[in-house]
Structure 1
Amino acid sequence: MLNTPTPLAPAAPPIQPVPSARETALRDAAKELEAGFLAEMLKSAGLGKTSESFGGGAGEDQFSSFLVQEQARAMVDAGGIGLSEAFFNALKERADV
């Protein structure tokens, strides 16, 4: 039998520090700010408007903003457009001062 070297195990990913409660709260606030921004952009793009041919009436008009807000939150959870990181850094800098 030949002595074949065993393959090296893959390196473990670097250990990330556990964020503090304050950083978690700031990150959540930053995500909500980005979601609010995206919701307004989605509304401006026409998402949530009642269709004229077949719509849900007054109920759809009243609750469409909730749908748009949740769609914006889903976009942020999927990575968003990067605003939440900028908001987080600004909020963190401001809180550290």
Structure 2
Amino acid sequence: MNINNYTNIINNDNSNYLNNNSKSKFIKEAKSAAESFESVFIFEFLESMYSGVKLGDFGGGSSEKMYRSMLNEEISKSISKQGGIGISSEVFNEIIKSQGI
């Protein structure tokens, strides 16, 4: 599913969305969108957290920045898939509520 469909779901711009797709597919996509949102939120949190960590004499450089960013991305995905910090469930509930399900 592309980002435009997520935008339509969240903004309720496409009133025929549920008529064209089954509710179970919509719920699955809404859950995926909520988990993705939480993953991005956690990623940004981790990035800001690690920006204040001072590196030792052997650390640093562009390769470590790239590695740290990829590591933070995978950590955030893992946290989100394992239940996260509660954001995805609230976002999911709001998406469902906005669609009247």
Closer, same or farther: CA 95–54 of 1 in aligned 2, 3 Å: farther
- Which of 62, 65, 69 in structure 2 is aligned with 1:61? 65
Partner letter of residue 63 of structure 2? G
Query: Secondary structure at the residue paired with 1:51?
Result: coil
Under a length normalisation based on structure 1, what TM-score does the superposition of the two structures give? 0.67
Alignment of 1:84-95 (within 5 A): 84-95=88-99
Asked whether 1:27 is paired with 2:9, we answer no
Higher RCO (C-alpha 8 Å, min separation 6) = 2
Give the total of aligned pairs: 79
- Offset at residue 71 of structure 1 (A): 0.3
Residue number in structure 2 paired with 1:39: 43
Long gaps (5+) in structure 1:
1-18
Residue number in structure 1 paired with 2:55: 51
- Offset at residue 23 of structure 1 (A): 0.6
Under a length normalisation based on structure 2, what TM-score does the superposition of the two structures give? 0.65
Contact 1:50 1:56 in 2 (8 A): no
Long gaps (5+) in structure 2:
1-22
Instruction: Give the number of the structure whose alpha-carbon radius of gyration is greater.
Output: 1
- Offset at residue 93 of structure 1 (A): 1.9
RMSD: 2.5
- Offset at residue 77 of structure 1 (A): 1.5
Contact 1:50 1:60 in 2 (8 A): no
